[in-house]
Structure 1
Amino acid sequence: MLLISLLFLSLFYAGAESSAVNSTTAGQCSTDGALECSLADGHLHHRIGQQLDPQRLFNESTHDENQNGFAFKHDAASYLLTRGKHGSFVVFPLDFFVSASLIVHGVWEETLLMSVEKLLQPGCWVADVGANIGSLTVPMARRVAPHGRVVAFEPFRRIFQVLAANVVLNGLGSVVRTVNAAVGNAKELMTIPTYDYDHIGNFGASTVDTDRPSDWIGTAGKATEAVWRVRLDDMEWPRLDVIKIDVERMGMQVLQGAMQTTARHLPVLMVEADLSSPQTVPAFLDSAAGKGTYSCFFGCTRPQVGVLRNEDFTFIPPDCSILTCVPPHVKVTG
């Protein structure tokens, strides 16, 4: 897996370097100590920081034929600003799943998003549990705006910082509430692993389980950090239409902490499944909302659907691990 990752990254950066130009459309930086940049389409115009040295913040400014933005580096953390199908995103260059898909394809889990968008309309409320960098948060927020809400939970500090940046970058601060917390079946201060996001890995595989940390990403030695764990039942939900759960083996704990909310609002649930989910999730929903209230089925994500570019280069295989559970008032077609 490491060899494949290195091969992909070398191919990507070779392409980026060969297509880099000194075009003013790639971003213009002022020299007055503050940094001001814009992308070619004129829709993105933001000011980063005050009294910063542009040479310190940026290690390189590039622009390819896909209008893919620019790379920037601050201290030890490197990021890339890329424009995808659903908005502009700050991504991790060394994350070979979520970020890499946004860079290469312009989307992440597009088929899942297409399914979710069929369930949403302006005014809906969504709980995005395990929001990562916001690749689904942003398009869902666009769908429910201006009066709907997306509450996006992400426990890992570095990933949460990028999530919050992407919400602001896409002008969705009034629609999305970002919460730097884990979600589970208790309200408590917990200890989670500190992962190393400055080396190649699958950053989306970060898990709060200190006993079984992810094998897909390195940890910073035995370092840990504290973060709050909350229950969905402890929050006020005027309505809740969809709960999306992607929390690496901890999905049942999220559901256990959402029993009252599920019974009250009967939201659609989209849960990243593990081997036990086909039995445990429907059984839980029977106890929470009444036997037979929910119907559950598996849906697949296909990264080649809806991509913007490089359609012949799909390095992420189809994934059929999304368990979707719908209440009787929701009609699912297609």
Structure 2
Amino acid sequence: MPCGGESQRYFPLDQGLGLTRLQDGHFLYVDPMDEAVAAHLIAHGYWENWIHKVVCSLVRPGDHIVEVGANFGYYTVAMARQTGPNGSILAFEANPGLADLVRRSVHFNGYSPTVKVLAKAASDKAGTLSFAISRRNAGGGTISTTPGALGPDSVLVTVETVTLDSVAPDDVRFIRMDAEGSEPLILRGAERLLQRPDIVVCMEWDVIQMSARADVRELIAWLSSLGFQYWSIQYDSTLRSVPAAEMPTLPACDIVMAREAPPGVPLTTAGSPDAV
């Protein structure tokens, strides 16, 4: 491992804590035990670069943003840079350990004035739920009552749930979600926010995971009745239009949902593969 200088990417701070430099210049506190997102950030300095580019293109200066599933804060700090000092981010991370790391990263990068991190789960109603967390699979945190749901090191914690409509301001224009299948519940709890004509949603779309929480066809019918259209994010960071009828069988990917094609992101040419 390098001893110093600009070539050094990872700085071990403790047995279970490190600081890593990203390719975009940000720094993130990470748990080196995580074998997915943190491992990739430590080794390469980026994660899901095709999605990262689209997210940064969708965020405008001064935007007010809600993020659900902040993980280590990779997208949080990227969006904070894009929205600037006149915007804001309300970031949810149900894993309390990760939420603490995100807060530290937000402060380290100078975004504390505009970013608030909540160690809560967004859902369709207020209350509490049982949530499985794991250090080896930090990004896999999910609603569960099974102690070993994420592997031998996973444990259950009780987390508070809130609806986005109850805590987010009226002027939210962008929502980013990666919630391991809980996206239908989160959207149902954001009916007020979704009424904004120019709202844009970027979210993970995994029909298998979401089907454990809701009827996906009913979800699509409801969203379509609100006027939403759908695009899948491609590996070349373009958007491919997806008809509502194809959404129930769309392979796992990240999608953008809006009432019209979002400006700033090119549409794909025919035949481009979906990102998975």
Normalising to structure 2: TM-score of the pair? 0.80
2:23 corresponding residue in structure 1:
85
Normalising to structure 1: TM-score of the pair? 0.67
- How far the C-alpha of 1:241 sits from its partner, in A, is 1.7
Give secondary structure in 1 for the equivalent of 2:112.
coil
Let me know the Cα RMSD of the aligned residues.
2.5
Give the letter for the 1:99 counterpart.
Answer: A
Counterparts of 2:181 and 2:148, CA distance in 1: 11
Count residues in correspondence.
Answer: 246
Counterparts of 1:183 and 1:280, CA distance in 2: 20
Work out whether residues 197 and 259 of structure 2, in 8 Å CA contact, stay in contact via their aligned partners in 1.
no
2:164 corresponding residue in structure 1:
232
Identity %: 25
Give secondary structure in 2 for the equivalent of 1:94.
coil
Work out whether residues 133 and 163 of structure 1, in 8 Å CA contact, stay in contact via their aligned partners in 2.
yes
Trace 1:300-319 onto structure 2 (pairs within 5 A).
300=234
Give secondary structure in 1 for the equivalent of 2:176.
strand
Give the letter for the 2:196 counterpart.
Answer: R
Give secondary structure in 1 for the equivalent of 2:260.
coil
Give secondary structure in 2 for the equivalent of 1:241.
strand
Counterparts of 2:158 and 2:166, CA distance in 1: 20
- How far the C-alpha of 1:235 sits from its partner, in A, is 2.1
Counterparts of 1:187 and 1:301, CA distance in 2: 37
Counterparts of 2:84 and 2:142, CA distance in 1: 30
Trace 1:89-108 onto structure 2 (pairs within 5 A).
89-108=28-47
Counterparts of 2:139 and 2:235, CA distance in 1: 15
Q: Does 1:208 align with 2:143?
A: yes
Q: Compared with structure 1, are the counterparts of its residues 297 and 134 closer, same or farther at alpha carbon in structure 2 (3 Å cutoff)?
A: same
Could you report, residue by residue, the CA deviation over 1:132-174 in whole angstroms, capped at 9, with x for unpaired residues? 1101000100000111011110011111111111101111001
2:13 corresponding residue in structure 1:
72
Q: Compared with structure 1, are the counterparts of its residues 333 and 264 closer, same or farther at alpha carbon in structure 2 (3 Å cutoff)?
A: same
Work out whether residues 155 and 180 of structure 1, in 8 Å CA contact, stay in contact via their aligned partners in 2.
yes
2:185 corresponding residue in structure 1:
253
Q: Compared with structure 1, are the counterparts of its residues 232 and 78 closer, same or farther at alpha carbon in structure 2 (3 Å cutoff)?
A: same
Could you report, residue by residue, the CA deviation over 1:183-240 in whole angstroms, capped at 9, with x for unpaired residues? 00001133323x342xxx22111113325964357324xxx33221010111242412
Counterparts of 1:114 and 1:281, CA distance in 2: 27
Could you report, residue by residue, the CA deviation over 1:44-91 in whole angstroms, capped at 9, with x for unpaired residues? xxxxxxxxxxxxxxxxxxxxxx32142021xxx511111112301111
Trace 1:249-328 onto structure 2 (pairs within 5 A).
249-275=181-207, 279-287=217-225, 289=226, 293-300=227-234, 321-328=253-260
2:101 corresponding residue in structure 1:
162
Give the letter for the 2:37 counterpart.
Answer: V
